[in-house]
Amino acid sequence: MRKSLIQILIIAIVVGGIFYLHGKKEEKAAAIRFNCTEEKANNFDCYRSYYSNMVKNNSVADAFEDLKSRYEKSDYVSSQCHQIVHVIGFEASKKWRTVTQAYKEGDSFCWSGYYHGVLEGIANQNGYKNFVKNINEICKPLAETRRYSFDHYNCVHGLGHGIMALKDDELFQSLDICDGLNDSWERTSCWSGAFMENVMMDSRYHTAKYLKPEDPLYPCNAVGKQYKETCYLMQTSYILTVVNSNFSKVFELCSGIEPEYRNICYQSLGRDASGRSTSNVKQTVETCYLGKNYDQRANCIIGAVKDFISYLHSDTRAKELCAALDDKNLQDVCMSTAESYYNNL
């Protein structure tokens, strides 16, 4: 049950999870000058500075409202949104020094990256030795409030991001540090943060140490067996960038990995099919139907329908996805997945 929940949460984190705040804060937000235009329009450091200053001088809520106003207008902002909300969370950690306090100010917009950024900030403030020494205590308040909840997951997943930052993105060393967590569920959740940070580094700066364009399955084909499932749940997002978004090619690559991880790889690809189409029913069905056999298509649909629900926090469009399938067996798999997943949110 806990293993299943981790898979659900990882898929939700990677592409789903959008909530919106309301209210008018234009006057406050306008005090911070936006200059990420023209030659700086695709400069991540410009956005980092802009949103850090907004949190510092205004509020977390102002930063999210501003980001949401730009999300639909800028392809760069939408593509880098998760990384940007990491920045907001990192800066928020300087205002609220405990995880619980910082999380109360948070927003799940753009795949809960704010919460991961908070942990990166706390890691930075504590320093390597103190962070590792207290690794079993940092998320304890959230675990005591509601063990294995979404907040608990975000916290421990965030530990993985924070460890990667402290270890200069040394993935294998970061996984070893995650192994210092006493709870097996927390260890797996921490691994997911480390693997996600590895993929994010490439999309942000193209400097990931443990990704190889000539071997797009790496590092999943090199890590220990205990890490492989978690790795493959992240890896297709990177593989798609290597093969120029050729989903058929990624299906083929997934079919060549160890048999016990193929379905996970197809589910990861289904998440990306939904994410890259902004949960468009027609496009997602067409993408999953690129799978050459039932297992490929069914698991792609499983990953996609979970992402529909995560992205929209509703099962309405997820059911539309299921209804659009012309195979009764696929419809049944889709609906049963949607029902169980939605009930677990």
| Residues β-bridged to residue 212 | 215
- Mean pLDDT (whole number) for 104-110: 88
What pLDDT was estimated at residue 17? Answer: 36
Mean pLDDT of 138-159: 92
pLDDT band at 24 (very low <50, low <70, confident <90, very high): very low
pLDDT at 344: 73
Report the distance separating Cα 60 and Cα 106, nearest Å.
7
**Region of 206 on the Ramachandran plot (φ > 0 left; ψ -120 to 50 alpha; else beta):** left
Q: How confident is the model at residue 1 (pLDDT cuts 50, 70, 90)?
A: low
- Going by C-alpha positions, the residue among 205, 210, 187, 202 that lies closest to residue 240 is 202
pLDDT, tens digit, for every residue of 296-315?
999 999 999 998 887 777 89
Q: How far is CA 191 from CA 153, 157, 161, 233, in A?
A: 11, 7, 9, 11
**How many alpha carbons fall within 13 Å on the CB side of residue 229?**
14
Q: Which of 87-91, 238-242, 246-250, 340-344 has the lowest mean pLDDT?
A: 340-344
Q: What is the 3-state secondary structure (H, E, C) of 136-155?
A: CCCCHHHHHHCCCCHHHHHH
Residue 12 has pLDDT above 90, yes or no: no
Nearest Cα residue to 103 out of 153, 54, 53: 153
* pLDDT value, residue 5: 59
The band of 65, judged by pLDDT with boundaries at 50, 70 and 90, is very high
Contact 194, 178 (CB under 8 A): yes
Summary mean pLDDT of the chain: 90
Residues 128, 22: Cα–Cα separation, whole Å: 38
- What type of residue is 298? A
pLDDT at 331 over 70: yes
Q: What is the pLDDT of residue 204?
A: 64
The pLDDT assigned to 30 comes to 46
pTM value is 0.83
Give percent of the chain with pLDDT exceeding 70: 90
Q: Which own/partner pairs from 104-109 qualify as long-range (CB within 8 Å, at least 24 positions apart)?
A: 105/60, 105/61, 106/60, 107/19, 107/21, 107/60, 107/61, 107/64, 108/17, 108/18, 108/19, 109/17, 109/18, 109/19, 109/20, 109/64, 109/67, 109/68, 109/81, 109/85
Share of the chain above pLDDT 90, in %: 74
Predicted confidence band of residue 21 (pLDDT cuts 50, 70, 90): very low
Enumerate residues 6+ apart whose C-beta is below 8 A from 157: 9, 10, 13, 115, 116, 189, 190, 192, 193, 196
Q: Which residue has the tokens 């990306």?
A: 272
Are 268 and 232 in contact by the 8 Å Cβ rule? The answer is yes
Looking at this protein, which amino acid is placed at residue 72? Answer: E
Could you read off the pLDDT of 250-293 as tens digits, one per residue? 999 999 999 999 999 999 999 999 988 888 999 999 999 999 99
pLDDT of residue 98: 87
- Where residue 23 falls among pLDDT bands split at 50, 70, 90? very low
Phi-psi region of 38 (alpha: psi -120 to 50; beta: other; left: phi over 0): left
Confidence at residue 284, expressed as pLDDT on a 0 to 100 scale: 98
State the distance between the two ends of the chain, measured CA to CA, in whole angstroms: 14
Tens-digit pLDDT profile for residues 184-242:
999 999 999 999 999 988 766 667 899 999 999 999 999 999 999 999 999 999 999 99
Predicted pLDDT at 202: 74
